[in-house]
Structure 1
Amino acid sequence: MSSSSATAFHSSFCFSSHNKLSSSPSNSHQPNTSLSPKPKTLLHKHPLYTPLHSTVSSQTKEKILCLEIMGVDSGKALSQNPSLHSVTLESIHSVISFLQSKGIHQKDFAKIFGMCPKILTSDVKTDLVPVFNFLSEDLKIPDQNFRKAINKCPRLLASSAEDQLKPALFYLQRLGLKDLEALAYHDSVLLVSSVEKTLIPKLKYLESLGFTRSEIVGMVLRCPALLTFSIENNFKPKFEYFSVEMHKKLEELKDFPQYFAFSLEKRIKPRYVETVESGKKVPLSLMLKTTDVEFRELLAEGGG
């Protein structure tokens, strides 16, 4: 790594931390002996540097330190993305610089790289540029709102524009989700969901419960998050309780698909038990979406 590149990289992400360290009283009174080698970079002064095993290369140490200084768990990042071991600092710096040029703030990196360390080893030209082109041209996101979209769903940056994002958008729009603003800023997790492995199986499961395709589309339009819920951990246990214990009809789920968004143990079961014990009839939506105070008032008044 050239000295100019190293300086640029270190000053961008580590300089403020090292300044604080070097200006602290404990550091200012350290004796300057000839036995102490002069640090090659400011990173060598950081307390995180010394505990690292001596066999770890200096470049790996610097990558670990820069991850930690940005607020990223280096151990988790290296475990989830082993390519970080071999990628150069210049490459990481190019990714960070590119994201900053797109309006991403340094304080956002902890969340973005923490959730998706794969982004750090992306190729700017072949991986990241196509994603931002997709955000701009397909989702119609203005440049100044890139940060908002990325912070909502960092996985966008780790997804292939051609193989994932565009096919997902095409499928969702054919399904009826045509609100690009909602997909960009609220339901963007749908764009990083596999059409074949995630979206289609969930639609088929809902069909197996007795809903028609048009009814399912209507439910998804009212509650896009429906397509993000797990079949095994969400749909199955909640539908079983809905049909077996609550003896409810599909019509109520069609009108209130948000039922699946509530916790079975913390919301659905206790609210239903209280409703039964009160002897009142309360519509599913009011039973779940009201506050505790409003719910008690509904039971006292006789519900719907």
Structure 2
Amino acid sequence: MAAATAAAVIAFHSYSPQEQHQHQQAQAQQSTDTPQLTNKPKTLLHKNPLYTPVHSKLSLQFKEKILCLEVMGVDSGKALSLNPLIHSATLNSIHNIITFLQSKGIQQKDLPRIIGMCPKILTANINNELIPVFNFLSHDLNIPDHNYRKVINKCPRLLVSSVENQLRPALFYLKRLGFRDLGALAYQDCVLLVSNVENTLMPKLDYLISLGFSKPEAIEMVLRCPGLFTFSLDNNFKPKFEYFEKEMKRDMSELKDFPQYFAFSLEKRIKPRHLEAVECGVEISLPLLLKTTDVEFAELMQRNKLRNL
């Protein structure tokens, strides 16, 4: 049934707008000639909330639009909730966007995740919004055409970000700080490009400076660990620094040399390992404390226990 439904939707996409209209009229006529069933339709959509009696008067085209999303693997209810403009978008416009993305190397199997994360893509303007993003990847980040897919899969939000108001200002700010490796920015840290400079990036740097680091030191820390720009001040930085300062009582120079400290879980890694090291009477560097595997850390603790016997 799913395969037949998918084939029907794909076939529908291949029609011209006039043929789509004729197809809809034929199906509508067929539905009036067929006795109405009291049960919900047994299709991919039979559990969809849009098929409750309250929505029994939905147009055939709208139902086909929902079916199109479901066949692609997209949660239609979530997509419609996050992007109400899909209600008024035509199947033809959605098809054009999918076709455009595929022309840029995006594969069918990528669509559920990409559209699921950013359903606004389905109502984007190809000329004014999507093409500028790919031009930015090509001209500003020097990404070759065959690698577009890799970058977009890494950060789908690029497709719904304004080049002039978000991507280019973020790139300018990051380059000014010292981010020189455009490849690393594109393939590893592209989430930084969709971050707001004033509201996201600058406050993280200011927080590090507020801890007592000089501005050059703080900049060096984010260059060594770009993930610092993605962590929450209240849920990450503050509780982890408080534990570092009050419980671990380590020197700030260690944090400067190993800013990756903030990337580890406080409850699952930092606290238990610190407490075990204290219990064993072992003093080790932050990298050894946190980067070693569980097996390596256990062996390290055991060796020190034997040494202290």
TM-score normalised by L of structure 2? 0.84
What is the alpha-carbon distance in structure 2 between the residues aligned to residue 107 and residue 13 of structure 1? 20
User: 1:157–1:13: structure 2 CA closer, same or farther, 3 Å change rule?
Assistant: farther
1:178 match: 180
Structure 2: give runs of 5+ residues left out of the alignment.
1-5, 15-29, 36-40
What is the alpha-carbon distance in structure 1 between the residues aligned to residue 237 and residue 58 of structure 2? 47
What is the alpha-carbon distance in structure 2 between the residues aligned to residue 61 and residue 195 of structure 1? 41
SS in structure 2 of the partner of residue 281 of structure 1? coil
2:45 match: 48
What is the alpha-carbon distance in structure 1 between the residues aligned to residue 32 and residue 177 of structure 2? 71
User: 1:35–1:12: structure 2 CA closer, same or farther, 3 Å change rule?
Assistant: closer
For 1:155-174, what per-residue CA distance to the aligned partner results, in whole angstroms no more than 9, with x for missing partners? Answer: 00010111110010000000
SS in structure 2 of the partner of residue 84 of structure 1? helix
What is the alpha-carbon distance in structure 2 between the residues aligned to residue 296 and residue 8 of structure 1? 55
Report how far residue 33 of structure 1 moved: 12
Residue identity in the other structure for 1:48: L
What is the alpha-carbon distance in structure 1 between the residues aligned to residue 8 and residue 142 of structure 2? 32
User: 1:288–1:12: structure 2 CA closer, same or farther, 3 Å change rule?
Assistant: farther
Structure 1: give runs of 5+ residues left out of the alignment.
1-6, 16-31, 38-43
TM-score normalised by L of structure 1? 0.85
1:169 match: 171
Q: 1:213 aligns with which of 186, 195, 215?
A: 215
User: 1:82–1:202: structure 2 CA closer, same or farther, 3 Å change rule?
Assistant: same
1:60 match: 62
Report how far residue 46 of structure 1 moved: 3.9
Is residue 140 of structure 2 the alignment partner of residue 134 of structure 1? no
Number of positions where the alignment pairs a residue of Structure 1 with one of Structure 2: 275
For 1:12-41, what per-residue CA distance to the aligned partner results, in whole angstroms no more than 9, with x for missing partners? Answer: 6989xxxxxxxxxxxxxxxx999538xxxx
Q: How does 1:152-163 map to 2 (within 5 A)?
A: 152-163=154-165
Report how far residue 302 of structure 1 moved: 3.6
SS in structure 1 of the partner of residue 194 of structure 2? coil
What is the alpha-carbon distance in structure 2 between the residues aligned to residue 13 and residue 248 of structure 1? 65
Report how far residue 234 of structure 1 moved: 0.3
Q: How does 1:1-304 map to 2 (within 5 A)?
A: 10-11=9-10, 36=34, 46-48=43-45, 52=51, 53-302=55-304
| Contact 1:13-1:66 within 8 A present in 2 as well | no
| Contact 2:66-2:76 within 8 A present in 1 as well | yes
Superposition CA RMSD, Å = 2.5
Residue identity in the other structure for 2:67: L
